[in-house]
């Protein structure tokens, strides 16, 4: 999953009369931040709250914060659950050290407040190596002291167990929930390859472009790379490798624009480094569009590949054969397998499965 900040959820979900009569458990969801738009948006937290709105009342849903974990103090006592996401990136936030100290305090005093800590393990470790020692300390402490750990990749179970023995029993695995999409309108294919999503170093885009030039393949494929970059120096490096066949845009794309680009592309390619990635929302969105997807043999990408939903590679040198075969054969994605996956792994199915794991904490 992408390690980016999400904006606060603004829209209240409708709840049936039966749900209204049911006592909801108060929960706090991190991070919901009170920041100006950067052009980056990740719908994961919005979808999470909407799916679980029949079970939990997210007390900070309409109260986004600019104080990070310290904002939890505002709602103590009175909350039963604290859900943490991308918490390993805390040291890089504003007042990151103070926030980290408070997090450790909360982890070790949770029983006093009657709290249950639920952590979603999106990545193996932070995508950035900055302040890595402190990030690893956070990773270990949250893994050790969480009451439940959610992961959207089977690899996350083994990775957590290797990191800290004896934690696998409290890990709940469910593939990244998927939002069904309407069939895409048919368009003439303008691009062989589409790479989309946040333009960040861990995505491996620079290394992929350098490989193309080293292998003299920079003119072979019509490639569009589009997404928002917050690292201008990184964007400058990849932009320097643009040519008549490789187009690179630093911009946020709406859902409508993305759907159109997917329909105009033969292949969606993910070039992520396998060092930190476990799951990816962009991968799940691409599968929902019934696209031909190629990704690294790591984390959820490997698992989706084994299920026949996408194609995977171990090294960039394997990509030309995979790409050429897909283009020449004009293969369609495995529609039946994708439909089955969507049916079994919707956000509602996730909420049902998670509630079964949370019931033990409801007393």
Conformation bin of residue 342: beta by default, left when phi > 0, alpha when psi is -120 to 50: alpha
Topology (CATH) of 191-343: Rossmann fold (3.40.50)
pLDDT digits (tens, 9 = 90+) for 307-355: 999 999 999 999 999 999 999 886 666 678 888 999 999 999 999 999 9
Say if 17-177+345-361 and 191-343 have the same CATH topology. yes
pLDDT in tens, 244-274: 999 999 999 888 999 999 999 999 999 998 6
- Predicted pLDDT of residue 187: 77
For residues 110 and 112, what is the distance between their CA atoms, to the nearest angstrom? 5
**CA 77, 83, 88, 92: dihedral to nearest 10 degrees?**
-60
The tens digit of pLDDT for each residue in 125-179 reads: 777 778 889 999 999 999 999 999 999 999 999 999 998 999 999 999 999 999 9
- State the pLDDT confidence band at 4, using cuts at 50, 70 and 90: very low
Compare 20 and 205 and report the one with higher pLDDT.
205
Q: If you average pLDDT over residues 27-43, what whole number do you get?
A: 74
Angle between helices 154-163 and 299-306 in degrees, nearest 10: 140
Measured CA to CA, the distance from residue 199 to residue 38 in angstroms comes to 13
pLDDT of 40 > 70? The answer is no
Provide CATH code, domain 17-177+345-361.
3.40.50.2000
Which DSSP letter does residue 286 get?
H
pLDDT band at 239 (very low <50, low <70, confident <90, very high): very high
For the chain, give every domain's residue range: 17-177+345-361, 191-343
Beta-strand relationship, 56-58 and 148-151: unpaired
Query: Residue 41 — very low, low, confident or very high, per pLDDT cuts 50/70/90?
Result: low
pLDDT of residue 124: 87
Prediction pTM value: 0.87
Higher pLDDT, 188 or 100: 100
Cα 175-79-59 angle, rounded to 5 deg: 75
pLDDT given at position 12: 39
How far apart CA 127 and CA 278 sit, in angstroms, is: 11
pLDDT band at 22 (very low <50, low <70, confident <90, very high): low
Here the tokens at position 361 are 């904490």
CA separation for the pair 316, 271 (Å, rounded):
8
Q: Is 205 left (phi over 0), alpha (psi -120 to 50) or beta?
A: alpha
Helix (H) or strand (E) holding 26: strand 25-30
Bridging pattern class, strands 56-58 and 81-85: unpaired
| Beta-carbon count within 10 A of 28 CB | 25
Q: Is the pLDDT of residue 18 over 70?
A: no
Nearest to 68 by CA among 92, 45, 46, 49: 92
Report the pLDDT value the prediction gives residue 297, as an integer from 0 to 100: 94
Q: How do residues 63-84 score in pLDDT, each as one tens digit?
A: 888 899 999 999 998 999 999 9
Q: Is 171 helix (H, G, I), strand (E, B) or coil?
A: strand
* pLDDT, averaged across the chain: 88
pLDDT (0 to 100) of residue 33: 81
* Confidence at 60, pLDDT banded by 50, 70, 90: very high
Sheet holding 246-250, edge to edge: 246-250, 223-227, 191-196, 265-269, 293-296, 311-313
């Amino acid at each position: 999953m992408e390690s980016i900040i999400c904006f606060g959820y603004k829209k209240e979900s409708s709840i049936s009369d039966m749900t209204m009569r049911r006592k909801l458990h108060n929960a706090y969801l991190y991070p919901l931040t009170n920041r100006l738009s950067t052009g980056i948006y990740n719908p994961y937290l919005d979808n999470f709250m909407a799916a679980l709105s029949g079970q939990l009342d997210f007390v900070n849903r309409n109260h986004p914060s600019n104080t990070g974990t310290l904002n939890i103090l505002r709602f103590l006592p009175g909350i039963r659950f604290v859900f943490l996401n991308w918490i390993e990136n805390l040291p890089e936030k504003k007042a990151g050290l103070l926030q980290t100290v408070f997090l450790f305090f909360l982890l070790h005093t949770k029983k006093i407040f009657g709290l249950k800590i639920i952590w979603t393990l999106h990545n193996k470790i932070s995508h950035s190596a900055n302040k890595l020692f402190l990030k690893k300390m956070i990773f270990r402490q949250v893994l050790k002291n969480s009451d439940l750990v959610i992961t959207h990749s089977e690899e996350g179970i083994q990775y957590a167990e290797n990191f800290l023995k004896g934690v696998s029993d409290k890990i709940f695995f469910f593939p990244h929930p998927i939002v069904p999409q309407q069939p895409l309108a048919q368009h003439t294919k303008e691009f062989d390859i589409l790479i989309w999503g946040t333009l960040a170093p861990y995505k491996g885009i620079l290394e992929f472009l350098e490989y193309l030039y080293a292998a003299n393949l920079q003119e072979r494929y019509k490639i569009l790379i589009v997404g928002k970059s917050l690292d201008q120096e990184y964007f400058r490096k990849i932009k320097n490798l643009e040519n008549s066949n490789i187009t690179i845009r630093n911009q946020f794309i709406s859902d409508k624009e993305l759907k159109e680009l997917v329909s105009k592309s033969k292949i969606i390619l993910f070039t992520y480094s396998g060092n930190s990635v476990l799951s990816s929302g962009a991968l799940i969105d691409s599968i929902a569009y019934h696209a031909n997807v190629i990704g690294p043999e790591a984390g959820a990408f490997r698992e989706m590949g084994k299920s026949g939903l996408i194609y995977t590679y171990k090294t960039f040198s394997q990509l030309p054969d995979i790409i050429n075969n897909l283009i020449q054969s004009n293969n369609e994605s495995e529609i039946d397998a994708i439909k089955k996956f969507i049916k079994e792994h919707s956000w509602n199915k996730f909420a049902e499965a998670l509630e079964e794991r949370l019931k033990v904490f409801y007393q």
